[in-house]
A and B are shown apart, each in its own frame.
Chain A
Amino acid sequence: MPLDQEKPLLQVKHLKKYYPIKKGVISRTVGYVKAVDDVSFDIYPGETMGIVGESGCGKSTTGRSLVRLEDPTAGQVLFQGKDLATVSQKEMRKLRTDLQIIFQDPYSSLNPRKRIGDLLAEPLLAHKLATKAEAEKKVNEIMEIVGLPKQYKNRYPHQFSGGQRQRIGIARALMLRPKLIICDEPVSALDVSIQAQVLNLLKDLQKSLNLTYVFIAHGLGAVKYISDRITVMYLGKVMELATTREIFEHPKHPYTEILLNAYPIPNPHERNRTQMVIEGDVPSPANPPKGCVFHTRCPFAKDICREKAPGLTGKDHLVACHFPIDEGKA
């Protein structure tokens, strides 16, 4: 749980990531895909920060920026107070032992030409943190932790099922004993019955290894299950940020409300409830709407929403809306 007195492990300050769009005779940059547009949040040790949003809203870009797989266009990512953008290559390499990432697709995140054992030992050897024999021992340990029989060490990734591969991905991220792990949709590619296994594993690991997670998903269910706090993103911007309970019980942003409402409820007796369905598609991040980015789909949009972008306001429950839903109304 985020405690005010604790120092944040990671601070994101006004992070922006724009991808240039090139056109014309000399490949002029004619515009930008604003994948992430002014995102700020803090992450405290031991918590899980969930990030949700629809496809293309910039979740992965944010996640990748946190481990400096992307260089931000603007803004800062401070890990334990150090700005990742300004540290030297060498220092960054060292910092990486504390920052890890797990990817969505368990098929493309493992090098198909390497045996599992080598794949897992590699981080230790590359950072010269262990001898071959020590690494081997650590590999055995980690495989046990993530629930893979250690005789599978000599197999290649394609010989594993999706769930098992995801376990391998997790194991690899754990090899360097990181403090923070970015989980970029770690379960969306998995079978429903397997998702629970991985979610439970992540949850258990967090407890036993005292890990901090940033958990990206577009399935709210999984986020709710694992997160302490949730950031709701839309078109590269943060719409709402609050504790899980707050988000689910007292959503303040219409978008959050609509998102929650859009989920079909696995109870046929409730099928005739009135559902709030918004029309229209997510606008392109290359050409986001003026004012509040959500105004094109917002059922409550007023004139001001079309002109002025609302700031993210609030103390513990942050929301970016000119007309947040108040307690009574919800």
Chain B
Amino acid sequence: MLQYIIRRILIAIPVLFGVTVLNFFIINLAPGNPVDMMVNPSATPEQLAATKHALGLDQPVWAQYWNWLVQLLHGNLGFSYSTREPVTQILMAHVGPTVLLMGISLIVGYLIAIPLGIICARKQNSWIDYLVTGFSFFGISIPHFFLGLGVIYVFASKLLWFPTGSMNTLGGDGSFIDTFNHLVLPVLVLATGIGGNMVRYVRSSMLDVLGKDYLRTAKAKGLSQFLITNKHALRNSLIPIITVIGIDIPLLIGGAIVTEQVFQWPGLGLLTIQSITSRDYSTLMAINLLAACTVLFANLLTDILYAVADPRIRYD
């Protein structure tokens, strides 16, 4: 197992390298220059040149890449082009809120979706199955921004139950209740999508497992339906569920761009959009790199979880 993990990490290195190359060159394809974004009306070409030089933007792309890579290997993600803050610091400030938002959304989504998916599979073609399936389709089909605007309209603007956005009340007590209040609506939006997707996977993988021979064996032993479903079937349907979770984990980093925008949630999504508008390449590259690492980590985690869930899977 350990050997397997090492091997996976070794494989991840060239992949990550590829990611950085692609990342860097894509971003540097851009016409225009981040420096143009920062100028004030009286800036002269010489001044721009000086700024470019200060940022190393006057070098050829490959040299810029090399510098960036060398810095990266020293654990330095560089400085924001726009605010000159260390990028690491910027990322740190934004990772937390996104992870909080997405983490809670994933948990809420799963907690609702997994039992519902099981019920649907158990009661295939019943009214509850149709209802939940209908909802899950709604969940995966509705764009987050539309749903977000909708819930803001209903719950924030009309009913005044929840705030329309951001993460805390400014100058508030910063209590958990306050954050919770701010979390409700964006979590509602995100969990709808996450849950909708999950319900469908749980349902179909459960249906798949429910048709398996060994469940008939379990039934032939006289076990109760509850035990059959939750002891025998559930663990077997975990593999597809783990796969979905593995795909969802990277959402912790990059999954909420639109929702964060709609709710002004001060996370990585918002940072991304801002970095795009301000052409803050160094920040953008760092975000992408972080996201790519998350994807690779999630893949590894998924594979490890497979082995935990299914004793047939052993890596060596």
Touch between chains A and B, by CB atoms below 8 Å: yes
**Residues of B close to A330: CB separation below 8 A:** none
Counting chain B CB atoms within 10 Å of each CB, the highest count among A23, A24, A25, A26 belongs to A25
Give the contacts of A3-46 with B (CB-CB under 8 A): 23-26
**Residues of B close to A25: CB separation below 8 A:** 3, 6-7, 10
**Residues of A close to B10: CB separation below 8 A:** 25
Nearest CB in chain B: distance from A252 CB, A: 41
**Residues of B close to A26: CB separation below 8 A:** 7
Complex alpha-carbon distance, A26 and B7, angstroms: 7
**Residues of A close to B213: CB separation below 8 A:** none
CB within 8 Å: A-B pair count: 9
Does chain A have a CB within 8 A of B316?
Answer: yes
Nearest CB in chain A: distance from B9 CB, A: 10
Chain A, Cβ-Cβ closest to B7: A25
Nearest CB in chain A: distance from B131 CB, A: 35
Give the contacts of B288-316 with A (CB-CB under 8 A): 316
User: Number of contact residues on A: which range applies?
Assistant: under 10
Give the contacts of A22-76 with B (CB-CB under 8 A): 23-26
Interface of B is mostly: helix
Complex alpha-carbon distance, A23 and B7, angstroms: 10
**Residues of A close to B3: CB separation below 8 A:** 24-25
Give the contacts of A126-158 with B (CB-CB under 8 A): none
**Residues of B close to A24: CB separation below 8 A:** 3, 7, 316
Nearest CB in chain B: distance from A313 CB, A: 41
**Residues of B close to A23: CB separation below 8 A:** 316
**Residues of A close to B6: CB separation below 8 A:** 25
**Residues of A close to B316: CB separation below 8 A:** 23-24
Complex alpha-carbon distance, A289 and B114, angstroms: 48
Complex alpha-carbon distance, A24 and B5, angstroms: 10
Nearest CB in chain B: distance from A128 CB, A: 45
Nearest CB in chain A: distance from B285 CB, A: 30
Complex alpha-carbon distance, A26 and B6, angstroms: 10
Nearest CB in chain B: distance from A141 CB, A: 44
Nearest CB in chain B: distance from A286 CB, A: 14
Chain B, Cβ-Cβ closest to A23: B316
Convert B264-278 into 0s and 1s, putting 1 for each residue whose CB lies closer than 8 angstroms to a CB of A: 000000000000000
Nearest CB in chain A: distance from B120 CB, A: 30
Complex alpha-carbon distance, A24 and B8, angstroms: 11
Complex alpha-carbon distance, A25 and B1, angstroms: 10
Complex alpha-carbon distance, A254 and B3, angstroms: 44
Chain A, Cβ-Cβ closest to B9: A25
Complex alpha-carbon distance, A24 and B6, angstroms: 9
Complex alpha-carbon distance, A247 and B196, angstroms: 64
Complex alpha-carbon distance, A26 and B3, angstroms: 10
Chain B, Cβ-Cβ closest to A26: B7
Convert B1-33 into 0s and 1s, putting 1 for each residue whose CB lies closer than 8 angstroms to a CB of A: 001001100100000000000000000000000
Chain A, Cβ-Cβ closest to B6: A25
Nearest CB in chain B: distance from A287 CB, A: 15
Complex alpha-carbon distance, A203 and B211, angstroms: 41
Nearest CB in chain A: distance from B176 CB, A: 46
Complex alpha-carbon distance, A1 and B239, angstroms: 56
Nearest CB in chain A: distance from B101 CB, A: 38
Complex alpha-carbon distance, A177 and B100, angstroms: 71
Chain B, Cβ-Cβ closest to A24: B3
Nearest CB in chain B: distance from A21 CB, A: 11
Complex alpha-carbon distance, A24 and B316, angstroms: 6
Complex alpha-carbon distance, A143 and B7, angstroms: 55
Complex alpha-carbon distance, A53 and B282, angstroms: 66
Complex alpha-carbon distance, A25 and B7, angstroms: 5
Chain A, Cβ-Cβ closest to B315: A23
Nearest CB in chain B: distance from A7 CB, A: 50
Complex alpha-carbon distance, A26 and B11, angstroms: 10
Complex alpha-carbon distance, A23 and B316, angstroms: 6
Convert B107-119 into 0s and 1s, putting 1 for each residue whose CB lies closer than 8 angstroms to a CB of A: 0000000000000
Nearest CB in chain B: distance from A106 CB, A: 23
Nearest CB in chain A: distance from B8 CB, A: 10
Convert B233-260 into 0s and 1s, putting 1 for each residue whose CB lies closer than 8 angstroms to a CB of A: 0000000000000000000000000000
Complex alpha-carbon distance, A251 and B10, angstroms: 56
Complex alpha-carbon distance, A25 and B6, angstroms: 7
Chain B, Cβ-Cβ closest to A30: B316
Chain B, Cβ-Cβ closest to A25: B7
Give the contacts of B186-211 with A (CB-CB under 8 A): none
Complex alpha-carbon distance, A23 and B1, angstroms: 11
Complex alpha-carbon distance, A25 and B13, angstroms: 14
Complex alpha-carbon distance, A23 and B6, angstroms: 13
Complex alpha-carbon distance, A321 and B316, angstroms: 37
Can you report 9 A-B residue pairs in the complex whose CB atoms are below 8 A from each other? A23-B316, A24-B3, A24-B7, A24-B316, A25-B3, A25-B6, A25-B7, A25-B10, A26-B7
Q: Which residues of B contact A (CB under 8 A)?
A: 3, 6-7, 10, 316
Name 4 extra pairs, CB < 8 A, besides A24-B3, A26-B7: A23-B316, A24-B316, A25-B3, A25-B10
Q: Which 7 A-B residue pairings sit nearest by Cβ, starting from the closest?
A: A25-B7, A25-B3, A25-B6, A23-B316, A24-B3, A25-B10, A26-B7
